[in-house]
Structure 1
């Protein structure tokens, strides 16, 4: 009996020990709060799921009006919306009403591009962004904005192609505007209504909607030299591509639906949305890299990110700060992904904040050099020295186009660049002004020197004339 008691006690201790030694659950709250405290991010909404369970849904910080961000705060998720548009198309495909490999013109007879190869664009090419349409060929942000999905399709009649349909990936918002228009026409109802009844409703996402333009009064933040500046979201077209407004609570339902389609689409279609073609890393509204399925989104005043981890975790983050080099929601989502994968991520400042500090230092240095340059301008002035100080002014004038080259052809207006990276515009403006001051001083010195020489030469000439007149032989 004693031996049996000892055996039972040992078994109980053995089964109890793992539970007692089990690792504590990841501290999502602690990490998010530390991130906001360290980076100065004003507010964020976060959803974390695992399998079919909600791990954490919460809001942190405050909005631009000072109100707390909560799990029920409706925020724009920008291009994360593309994954929801893809689900809407896949739902129609499963019903046999849309063929992914059928040409777009079968459903939209008025879909015409300036390039006749546009007739070969298929529905799948829109969703995996291989249509050949691109920002480099059709910079839609710089053009007059449409007001409806129908107008968004019509304005493409002037759009050339950047490449052969199906050949190359080009991230381009109009791809998803056309896809959303297909949903409208095939379903016979507005795109927003179809999302509400066909996608959001079945998933229980009752607070979610999609808009063709930011609602009036939508306000977030931009960062300039580490300072959060509240700004109103500019009026631009967002339908189909980046127009969904939702909450952290609804995003948790969306993440859970990615396991098997959530009843909106079949498990096979959900898997298809997450599976890129061989040799590519963009599927249907989702990017796939290093085993992670994700997508980010940018408005001028908000950012968003969603990530599906191999271990079953899902993460969605919406931040009320626009992009300035970094997508701030993506930075927070990446930290959470590391935390949930067993890592110990350290909170660090966004690269945009660090870059602004460097830009600020360079601008101050430029001002100091300009003061010295103005003082030295009168010493040996030369015409060839006027042009170099004006180079920053040229860079400032062509800044939107130069950034378009850096960001794969995505060009915007000067005002949009000011939203995206105000620190760069301000610093370059200060540097350009300093250069202009030096150039003006050098021109002034050159003009003054030229006048002085002219006056000196004129005085010498008059003196010679007087001397010649005084020494001219008399006629008597």
Structure 2
């Protein structure tokens, strides 16, 4: 197998062309193996300024933050302050959603593994004050319950904001302060920032979005999502090397580089244990642990998480049994294509791991009954309508709502192809990959109750 120097040589030779091929303005990569780290960067931090990306540049890590929030929660478990199977209300009596029967039984474990069942994509702006997470949780009182707690997996940003508030209450300080005191400091991180006010002290990347589906990426109009969503991943930024310092905590039984026990070995192990199966969605893990995605790859096991904010995408994969971790941070373009090539090569060469091929549209369409799929599926951030034209072709139209609509506008209409039972796949790739939509449940008439694309989006009306 290759060594780290060979990996770095390959990255140096391949990264510039890979970014250009996929219209990615800039990226930074770090690889850890056997106690050593190599890192490098390419491209620019912003197409508006032309400032060069370096290995010390800060990129947003997005929802990888959820693993950090989970680690904060598990520190509380280590201290005997939290029990995973206790209702959240035990520690956060003010937690209220529209379904009172669900609110009083949802457990900490269910939040950590995305099994709580309530609407999760809530991005309410409650200001920039230290009380923004507290105010955010108070806005969840009218949020719908989509399914019974523990019934299945549905990715839930709001649930991690609730967990962040629980950490605040038990620690008696704002989430950002908890993150800095209990993780940044003991891990000796030097290039990590809670939001724009801290990130501006470093060489920081700006996200890039496509103003139209086929247009070149341009700098995003805002730097980050709202601060109220910080525990879910709205604004945490760092260089890849610092992200790998966090990964090493989970490779080394909870100890920092200087030997400090930051998290117990038992909690590290518990976070990596299978909690719930995930529909076959291509890019996501096969299952979820506590915070971590779990990937059933040949040569594994592999754990990790991805993150996406306004024009920035982040990828982290960790191989616990081989003491290997890889981080890729990017700021726009077809980032998934960059991820698949870099991680496919590095994990194969360093760890003998074969990343499975991502789903692709079938070469030929087999006959199928479209009636199960047709209709509108609705959530807080958008309406997704599956329709059929006179030729029998299926189309997905997404109509963004609320704050998301202001940022991304109306999406294009995308043709859907039949992939397998209960699964449709876009004919056109998104950021370099074709991500399936899985249709689950039954509304009582033979039609799917949910369109699952990581989130279980409930049927609103027939076509």
TM-score (norm 2): 0.66
Counterpart of 1:206?
190
* Structure 2 spans left out of the alignment, 5+ residues: 256-260, 279-286, 362-375, 388-393, 416-463
Counterpart of 2:139?
155
Counterpart of 1:416?
404
Counterpart of 1:437?
none
Tell me which of 273, 288, 292 is aligned to 1:286.
292
List aligned pairs for 1:232-271, cutoff 5 A: 232-233=221-222, 235-236=225-226, 237-242=228-233, 243-259=235-251, 260-262=253-255, 263-271=261-269
List aligned pairs for 1:2-81, cutoff 5 A: 25-26=6-7, 27-54=10-37, 56-64=38-46, 65-81=49-65
* Structure 1 spans left out of the alignment, 5+ residues: 1-18, 355-393, 428-476
Counterpart of 1:221?
208
Cα deviation code 1:130-151 (max 9, x no counterpart): 111134xxx524xx43331101
Give the greater-gyration-radius structure (CA).
1
Tell me which of 151, 154, 157 is aligned to 1:170.
154
The answer to whether the 8 A contact 1:213-1:239 is kept is: no
Counterpart of 1:361?
none
Displacement after TM superposition at 1:338 (Å): 3.8
The answer to whether the 8 A contact 2:217-2:333 is kept is: no
List aligned pairs for 1:344-383, cutoff 5 A: none
TM-score (norm 1): 0.65
Structure 2 Cα separation of the partners of residues 330 and 210 of structure 1? 28
Cα deviation code 1:126-181 (max 9, x no counterpart): 1111111134xxx524xx43331101210111112111112211101011000010
Displacement after TM superposition at 1:322 (Å): 6.1
The answer to whether the 8 A contact 2:398-2:412 is kept is: no
How many pairs are equivalent?
A: 353
Structure 2 Cα separation of the partners of residues 151 and 204 of structure 1? 31
- Give the aligned CA root-mean-square deviation in angstroms: 4.0
Structure 1 Cα separation of the partners of residues 239 and 230 of structure 2? 18
The answer to whether the 8 A contact 1:298-1:327 is kept is: no
Higher helix share: 1
Provide the secondary structure at the position in 2 that maps to 1:307: strand
Counterpart of 2:125?
145
Name the CA shift for 1:23/1:400 in 2 (closer, same or farther; >3 Å): closer
Structure 1 Cα separation of the partners of residues 407 and 145 of structure 2? 28
Structure 2 Cα separation of the partners of residues 417 and 337 of structure 1? 37
The answer to whether the 8 A contact 1:300-1:322 is kept is: no
Name the CA shift for 1:322/1:268 in 2 (closer, same or farther; >3 Å): farther
Name the CA shift for 1:30/1:343 in 2 (closer, same or farther; >3 Å): farther
Displacement after TM superposition at 1:404 (Å): 9.9
Provide the secondary structure at the position in 1 that maps to 2:68: helix
Higher strand share: 2
Tell me which of 82, 106, 111 is aligned to 2:95.
111
Name the CA shift for 1:402/1:422 in 2 (closer, same or farther; >3 Å): closer
Q: Are 2:317 and 1:307 aligned?
A: yes
The answer to whether the 8 A contact 1:296-1:306 is kept is: yes
